[in-house]
């Protein structure tokens, strides 16, 4: 039986990037269906009736929601090629911890990008930089978070990279000046085909931000 794999996604989504990369790492063919988040499709609402959000991975008609859960599902469903999580239970638990920690950077980024005033944006920038420095400390001098092996934690974080230019422009700061090892790591990741073909174009993301800000104000 040939697996039917469909991904409901939105091109600049830093979450959807994770799922795309995981599928590419496993060499899994999938159908990509772009979603209009202002006019959500019947398929999206059917497949994710709880949160009504992307990305949604549909495997043989069954939906899997939440990007990091999708990465784990992909790793377990196609275990032979390029394992994404460590086989050791402790190391696997640590990878999940850091994936969860990375997601906790989102509130700070929300204030940085969509804050109502300068003070809120500065607070968001401070929160984001402090947490990114913590992640950088975990990376240390390793090639990837898993040492020489690209995997789960790398996938969890690299989706943010397509947005770094936008964060810097609207936060008026340099991520490379704050976290040089993170930038060096990201440049290594981008050399992987799975990452290069999955990341959104950073210039297009930055150009999109004013439109997204307008939509936020309307909401």
Provide the token pair at 171: 């936060």
Residue 115's pLDDT band (boundaries 50, 70, 90)? confident
175 vs 5: CA distance, rounded Å: 36
Residues 46, 52, 54, 59, CA torsion sign:
negative
Top-confidence residue, 162 or 211: 162
Provide the token pair at 47: 């497949």
Q: Are 55 and 35 in contact (CB under 8 A)?
A: no
Q: Supply φ then ψ for residue 193, to 5 degrees.
A: -60, -40
Q: According to the model, what pLDDT value does residue 219 have?
A: 43
Q: How many CB atoms lie within 10 A of CB 126?
A: 15
Q: What's the Rg (C-alpha) of the chain?
A: 17
183-206 average pLDDT score: 97
Cβ within 8 Å of residue 76, ≥6 positions away: none
pLDDT in tens, 29-81: 999 999 999 999 999 999 999 999 999 999 999 999 999 999 999 999 999 88
Closest to 16 measured CA to CA, from 1, 4, 34, 28: 34
Provide the token pair at 25: 């790492």
On the question of pLDDT at 128 being above 90, the answer is yes
Q: Are 188 and 143 in contact (CB under 8 A)?
A: yes
Per-position DSSP letters for 93-131, written without gaps between them: HHHHHHHHHHHTTHHHHHHHHH-SSHHHHHHHHHHHHHH
Residue 216's pLDDT band (boundaries 50, 70, 90)? low
pTM > 0.85: yes
Domains of the chain: 5-77 (3.40.30.10), 89-218 (1.20.1050.10)
Provide the token pair at 108: 């700070």
127 vs 209: CA distance, rounded Å: 20
């Amino acid at each position: 039986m040939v697996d039917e794999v469909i991904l409901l996604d939105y091109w600049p989504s830093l979450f959807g990037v994770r799922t795309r990369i995981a599928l590419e790492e496993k060499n899994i063919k999938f159908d990509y269906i772009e979603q209009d988040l202002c006019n959500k499709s019947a398929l999206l609402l059917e497949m994710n009736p709880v949160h009504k959000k992307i990305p949604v991975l549909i495997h043989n008609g069954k939906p899997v929601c939440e990007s990091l859960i999708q990465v784990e599902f992909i790793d377990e469903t196609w275990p032979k090629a390029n394992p994404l999580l460590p086989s050791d239970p402790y190391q696997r638990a640590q990878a999940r911890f850091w994936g969860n920690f990375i997601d906790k950077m989102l509130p700070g980024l929300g204030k940085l990008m969509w804050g109502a005033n300068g003070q809120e944006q500065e607070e968001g920038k401070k929160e984001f930089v402090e947490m990114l420095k913590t992640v950088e400390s975990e990376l240390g001098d390793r090639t990837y978070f898993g040492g020489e092996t690209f995997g789960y934690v790398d996938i969890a974080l690299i989706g943010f990279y397509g947005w770094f230019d936008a964060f810097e422009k609207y936060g008026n700061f340099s991520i490379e000046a704050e976290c040089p090892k993170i930038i060096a790591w990201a440049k290594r990741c981008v050399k992987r085909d799975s990452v290069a073909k999955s990341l959104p174009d950073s210039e297009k993301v930055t150009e999109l931000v004013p439109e997204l800000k307008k939509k936020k104000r309307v909401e």
